[in-house]
Amino acid sequence: MVADNTPDSPNEQSDKMDVLKSTQTIVKIALEKLGYPEEVFELLKEPVRMMTVRIPVRMDDDSIKIFTGYRAQHNDAVGPTKGGVRFHPKVSEKEVKALSIWMSLKAGIVDLPYGGGKGGIVCDPREMSFRELEGLSRGYVRAISQIVGPTKDIPAPDVFTNPQIMAWMMDEYSRIDEFNNPGFITGKPIVLGGSHGRESATAKGVTICIDEAVKKKGIKVKGARVVIQGFGNAGSFLAKFLHDSGAKVVGISDAYGGLYDPDGLDIDYLLDRRDSFGTVTKLFNNTITNEELLELKCDILVPAAVENQITEKNANKINASIIVEAANGPTTLEATKILSDRDILLVPDVLASAGGVTVSYFEWVQNNQGFYWSEEEIEDKLHKVMTKGFNSVYHTAETRRVDMRLAAYMVGVRKMAEAARFRGWI
Ligand code: GLU
């Protein structure tokens, strides 16, 4: 066969970067592999509900700025929908829809009684004051209050949102609802009904996946060279956990660039110097680019930043044995194929990043029962859930001879499809 070297047209290029399209493609293949009829795909290819809101906020200079926000509820056959809210200038309707589907898949993989949801506001929180952020957070909750709630759809933190923002949102919802309602949102500060271990949960979940993945590849975490793209919530906690367990974190990056030291970076120093958005490289002159960082020689590569970082353009240059996706959607479909042909073990986002929503579930359960668990209890429960999730995906990949991403989608979509069938929807 003659290789097709024709460059992609701009349309083909943007299709490959279209996270919603690529998610739908794998959901379709997963459902076909599982033997579900076409109408199941028709139901699951888009969220069942999508709300767009306009949020007026009085800014510090007394002007009024109108922000656009979204909330997508992918599927509520299994239970209430659940998922974070991101504050980012690049938030779009399509991205929020894809993210809500990924949340459904995560809930399916780690077997939580939820469907997926996701929210986002187009804004740049790095350029907003505390007071403006509070106004925006409260305005968003007022705008979506009719479709959310502890038994309907439960928000949580995501990119550039944090426990303080969850606290404002919880307070606003409780005022609307006229009683204290901690189960409306997760990722809250501990004093407001937050859970021990929630802040570091995504990173903990990733380390549990790494522990399982290294066993399959015959590597040891102690002494392994690790590269982490992103130094936000997931990336920074992960760097700390891996550093503490004896791995050598040789590269990290933020939105502005990367740092590399073949002898291992001083993670404690970097954690001390990072700001609340994970920026640290601005303090250094000898930085590398994010592209260079991804191609560094290492044992474990963890993309923990944003979407579409590993594409068909750089997949052949990746120099790692294991990739664990702590971010949502960092690898395109074409790149997934290249990596799996190269026998790189890829632990996909919908599995690797499920630790956050798992501890969010524990937080919600604690809020509902009014009885709280210790950090050790949470860690123990998270460990059981993540190990089981990892092994069911790995087992599916082995027995059905599919790559880990497709296996994860097959495991993730099954519960939702079954629940919809039992309800008589399809
Ligand atoms: N935003 C996180 C995620 O993408 C956590 C969601 C949650 O805790 O509900 O998985």
pLDDT digits (tens, 9 = 90+) for 202-229: 999 999 999 999 999 999 999 999 999 9
Cβ neighbours for 209, distance < 8 A, ≥ 6 positions apart? 324, 347, 351, 352, 386, 390
Q: Which amino acid would we find at residue 153?
A: D
197 close to 203: Cβ distance less than 8 angstroms? no
Q: Looking at residue 9, what is its pLDDT?
A: 55
Count of the separate structural domains present in the chain: 2
DSSP states of 22-89 as a string?
Answer: HHHHHHHHHHHHHT--HHHHHHHTS-SEEEEEEEEEE-TTS-EEEEEEEEEE---SSSSEE--EEEET
DSSP 282: G
**206 touches ligand 1 (CB under 6 Å):** no
**353 touches ligand 1 (CB under 6 Å):** yes
Q: 86 C-alpha to center of ligand 1: Å?
A: 10
Residue among 85, 105, 357 whose CB has most ligand 1 atoms within 8 A, to mutate: 357
**359 touches ligand 1 (CB under 6 Å):** no
Q: Are residues 338 and 299 in the same domain?
A: yes
Mean pLDDT score, 101-105: 98
| Average of per-residue pLDDT values in the chain | 95
Last residue of a domain, one of 314, 347, 380: 347
**Residue 239: count of CB within 10 angstroms of its CB:** 26
The alpha carbon of residue 35 and the mean position of all alpha carbons in its chain are separated, in whole angstroms, by 28
300 close to 320: Cβ distance less than 8 angstroms? yes
Helix (H, G, I), strand (E, B) or coil at 202: helix
**158 touches ligand 1 (CB under 6 Å):** yes
Q: 157 C-alpha to center of ligand 1: Å?
A: 6
Q: Are residues 53 and 91 in the same domain?
A: yes
Q: Is 118 a catalytic residue?
A: yes
Q: Looking at residue 3, what is its pLDDT?
A: 39
The alpha carbon of residue 352 and the mean position of all alpha carbons in its chain are separated, in whole angstroms, by 8
DSSP states of 138-190 as a string?
Answer: HHHHHHHTTT-BTTTEE--B-TT--HHHHHHHHHHHHHHHTS--GGG-SS--G
Which residue is closest in CA terms to ligand 1's atom 9?
Answer: 83
pLDDT digits (tens, 9 = 90+) for 110-160: 999 999 999 999 999 999 999 999 999 999 999 999 999 999 999 999 999
Q: Is residue 12 very low, low, confident or very high in pLDDT (cuts 50, 70, 90)?
A: low
Q: Are residues 214 and 174 in the same domain?
A: no
**356 touches ligand 1 (CB under 6 Å):** yes
Q: Distance between CA atoms of 182 and 193, rounded to whole angstroms?
A: 6
Residue among 401, 423, 307 at smallest CA distance from 410: 401
Q: Looking at residue 334, what is its pLDDT?
A: 95
Q: Are residues 224 and 267 in the same domain?
A: yes
Q: Are residues 93 and 123 in the same domain?
A: yes
Q: Are residues 172 and 79 in the same domain?
A: yes
pLDDT digits (tens, 9 = 90+) for 66-93: 999 999 999 999 999 999 999 999 999 9
pLDDT digits (tens, 9 = 90+) for 340-373: 999 999 999 999 999 999 999 999 999 999 999 9
Q: Distance between CA atoms of 128 and 9, rounded to whole angstroms?
A: 38
**357 touches ligand 1 (CB under 6 Å):** yes
Q: Looking at residue 5, what is its pLDDT?
A: 42
| Host domain of residue 87 | 46-181
Q: 287 C-alpha to center of ligand 1: Å?
A: 31
Cβ neighbours for 426, distance < 8 A, ≥ 6 positions apart? 37, 39, 40, 43, 417, 420
> Which two structure tokens, joined as six digits, stand for 67?
């922000």
Q: Distance between CA atoms of 78 and 46, rounded to whole angstroms?
A: 16
Domain CATH for 70: 3.40.50.10860
Q: Are residues 111 and 212 in the same domain?
A: no
